[in-house]
Amino acid sequence: MSGLTAEELRQMQDDIEYLMPDTCNILSLTRTSDGMGSWTETWGTASASVACRIDFTSGKEALASDSEQIYTRAMLSVPYDTTITQANRVEWGDLTFNVVSVNLGQSWNVVRRAVLEQIR
């Protein structure tokens, strides 16, 4: 099987980005000293209106400390050149997610994928 040309790869990257049905914001954390030995954490937008697709993959409920914990996992697809790491969060509509992992190793770099866990 022959490899892709640079032009074919670019076309695949463009096609996939064009087909993404939604947008999301990628958030980054800023910590500011409160002057009393602690930090105040603020999540700000690192990248706004990023083309994306979110597919929910699983969810579970568990009883922890007499309270119900609900975890919902999703797969995020964004353009191949999007900067996203486990230090980020993703905001999609009214939902916010922690980034659990990011796939950086694939044969053809046409899309970047990240596993997300919804914050409740």
Looking at residue 62, its amino acid is A
Residues composing the chain: 120
16, part of any domain:
yes
How many domains is the chain partitioned into structurally?
Answer: 1
The 10s digit of each residue's pLDDT in 22-51 is: 999 999 999 988 888 888 899 999 999 999
Q: How many CB atoms lie within 10 A of CB 28?
A: 16
CB 114 within 8 A of CB 103: yes
- Kindly state whether residue 1 falls inside one of the protein's structural domains: no
Q: What is the pTM of this model?
A: 0.82
pLDDT tens digits for range 89-114: 999 999 999 999 999 877 778 999 99
Instruction: Give residue 68's domain range.
Output: 6-119
State the pairing for strand pair 67-79/89-92: unpaired
**Quick check: is 15 in a domain?**
yes
Residue 53 lies in a domain: yes
CATH number assigned to the domain comprising residue 29 = 2.40.10.270
Q: Which DSSP helix (H) or strand (E) runs through 36?
A: none
pLDDT, residue 33, reads 86
